[in-house]
């Protein structure tokens, strides 16, 4: 995944870009970058690997080294960025968020016109450079961005720092990801997460619409291209990826998660008796508010039977050796024995994707004396790998615990009945849930319904992307 932040002010914008970008660290753990523009020295850029150290640590010195009244930053789980570009429309720094499924096709097209690429990530062309190449084929930023977004199969939100000291922000074509504009006394900012600018003295100005393009200066925001009518914002943002204090389309993440848990508990009560359950707990951290809502609705005490130790294990440091990686993952989990030993626990997770970590968590609880562990997923069963965002490192649908379990039950025939497997009231749905329970030693398992999830978000269903659960475009 990834996130970006940009600021343009009458005074220096470097500190705001530094802090605003750092507030996106939950969206990526691989690379970070910043760029700034000063009329005297031009564009400056710095990129660092942040896999084993936070963005803040790696970039503190830019506060004394970078200059400019306009600056951008990016957290990325994929390509190093921002990149500095020179083109017929100007010199600029560019950051992108999203995924390009037809990158190979577009790369060949650019090369066939005599273009070339300089930035590589592994053996692939840097996605931001590919987007820049498409933009550069046109005569203006707005025209180029529209062309790029029309040609890209996937998603691309774009933030550009120009050599005029302005920002150009573009939300992806159907608004799968957010782009928020904040207003301060001294200028404006653009951000993925709305909370990122509020501690810096900015207030909500507005969210960009799907495909909308704006140019931002210290004096105001100018629309370069209007938004489209079609919106498909990713529903998974509220369930998992979004930070609790953020809001998308006016809906706060933490409030949605608590409401989702309440809706889930009321529905779950029709088929599952919570009598005998000692505590409801959340799989930290994003599962916790879902669990609080669930506990409040079913009137079973909420508790934290184990805690993630984050002071030194906050990063995704992982040794190369798989056995050592497993040990590191377990080191983060610190039990509260009094809340585990001899207790029947109901855990709520934000979602169940591959199931690997969840299996280890349940084994961890049983090893510390848990009497029973019931599992609830605050999302419906994930049936399709996302093809619009690089949320997951899964290599295919068969990485998903649901699809693997279905194949074990019914082989190739299973893919014809995905809707039935999603539904807990069908025989196939019951069989899948029982098989996962048997495999992971759950006492019971249930998933939130797609209807319950949509109700918790509270915006029109036609504006939500639910592809990973329904397979519908």
Residue 358: predicted pLDDT: 83
Number of neighbours of residue 250 by Cβ within 10 angstroms: 10
Domains of the chain, CATH where assigned: 2-228 (3.60.20.10), 251-470 (3.40.50.2020)
pLDDT at 473: 77
Predicted TM-score (pTM) of the model is 0.92
pLDDT reported for residue 271: 87
Whole-Å CA distances, 470 to 175, 397, 444: 19, 13, 23
Strand ranges, E, within 88-153 = 90-100, 120-121, 124-125
pLDDT of residue 325: 55
Structure tokens at 413: 């025939």
pLDDT at 324: 61
Does residue 361 sit in helix, strand or coil? helix
Number of H helices, E strands in the chain: 16, 25
| Predicted confidence (pLDDT) per residue in 150-189, tens digit | 999 999 999 999 999 999 999 999 999 999 999 999 999 9
Determine if the peptide bond prior to 285 is cis (ω within 30°): yes
Contact (CB, 8 A) for 177 and 388: no
d(CA 435, CA 133): 49
225 pairs with which residues across the strands?
213
Q: Would you state the pLDDT for residue 318?
A: 47
- How many angstroms separate the Cα of 158 from the Cα of each of 36, 73, 136, 144? 16, 12, 14, 11
State the chain's maximal CA–CA distance in angstroms. 70
pLDDT given at position 392: 54
Residues in the chain, pLDDT under 50: 315-320
**Pairing relationship of beta strands 464-465 and 120-121 according to DSSP bridges:** unpaired
Name the pairing type of β-strands 213-217 and 167-170. antiparallel
Model pLDDT, residue 389: 84
CA gap 309, 456 in Å, rounded? 30
313's tokens: 């294990």
Helix ranges (DSSP H) in 10-85? 14-22, 55-59, 62-65
- Per residue in 53-76, pLDDT (tens digit) is 889 999 999 999 999 999 999 999
Q: What is the pLDDT of residue 317?
A: 46
Contact 423, 429 (CB under 8 A): yes
**What is the per-residue pLDDT for 120?**
72
How high is the pLDDT of residue 316? 46
- Asked whether 31 and 24 are in contact (CB, 8 A), the reply is no
* Helix (H), strand (E), coil (C) string for 222-273: EEEECCCCCCCEECHHHHHHCCCCCEECCEEHHHHHHHHHHHHHHHHCCCCC
pLDDT score, position 326:
59
pLDDT for res 141: 97
């Amino acid at each position: 995944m990834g996130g970006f932040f940009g600021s343009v002010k009458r005074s220096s914008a470097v500190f705001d870009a530094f802090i605003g970008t750092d507030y996106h660290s939950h969206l990526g753990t691989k690379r970070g970058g910043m760029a700034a523009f000063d009329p005297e020295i031009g564009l400056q850029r710095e990129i660092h690997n942040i896999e084993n150290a936070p963005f803040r640590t790696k970039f503190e010195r830019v506060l004394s080294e970078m200059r400019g009244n306009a600056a951008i930053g990016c957290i990325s789980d994929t390509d190093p960025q921002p990149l500095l570009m020179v083109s017929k429309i100007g010199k600029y720094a560019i950051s992108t968020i999203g995924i390009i499924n037809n990158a190979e096709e577009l790369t060949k097209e650019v090369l066939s016109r005599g273009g070339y690429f300089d930035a590589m990530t592994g053996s692939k062309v840097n996605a931001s450079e590919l987007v820049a190449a498409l933009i550069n084929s046109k005569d203006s930023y707005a025209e180029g961005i529209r062309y790029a977004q029309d040609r890209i199969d996937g998603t691309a939100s774009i933030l550009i720092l120009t050599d005029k000291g302005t920002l150009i922000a573009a939300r992806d074509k159907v608004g799968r990801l957010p782009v928020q504009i904040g207003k301060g006394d001294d200028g404006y900012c653009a951000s993925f997460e709305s909370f990122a600018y509020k501690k810096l003295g900015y207030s909500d100005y507005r969210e960009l619409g799907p495909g909308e393009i704006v140019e931002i200066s210290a004096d105001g925001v100018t629309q370069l291209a209007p938004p489209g009518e079609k919106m498909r914002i990713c529903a998974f943002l509220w369930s998992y990826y979004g930070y609790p204090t953020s809001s998308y389309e006016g809906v706060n993440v933490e409030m949605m998660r608590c409401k989702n848990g309440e809706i889930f508990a009321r529905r779950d009560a029709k088929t599952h008796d919570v009598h005998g359950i000692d505590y409801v707990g959340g799989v930290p951290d994003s599962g916790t508010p879902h669990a609080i809502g669930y506990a409040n609705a079913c009137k079973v005490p909420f508790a934290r039977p184990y805690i993630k130790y984050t002071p030194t294990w906050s990063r995704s440091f992982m040794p190369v050796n798989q056995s050592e990686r497993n040990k590191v993952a377990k080191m983060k989990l610190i039990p509260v024995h009094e809340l585990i030993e001899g207790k029947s626990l109901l855990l709520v997770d934000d979602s169940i994707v591959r199931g690997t970590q969840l299996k280890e968590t349940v084994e961890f609880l049983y090893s510390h004396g848990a009497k029973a562990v019931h599992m609830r997923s605050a999302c419906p069963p994930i049936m399709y790998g996302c093809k619009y965002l690089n949320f997951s490192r899964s290599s295919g649908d068969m990485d998903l615990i649901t699809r693997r379990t279905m194949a074990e039950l019914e082989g190739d025939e299973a893919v014809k009945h995905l809707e039935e497997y999603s539904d807990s009231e069908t025989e196939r749905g019951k069989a899948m849930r029982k098989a996962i329970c048997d495999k992971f030693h759950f006492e019971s398992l249930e998933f939130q319904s797609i209807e319950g999830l949509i109700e918790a978000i509270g915006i029109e269903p036609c504006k939500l992307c639910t592809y990973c659960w329904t397979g519908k475009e």
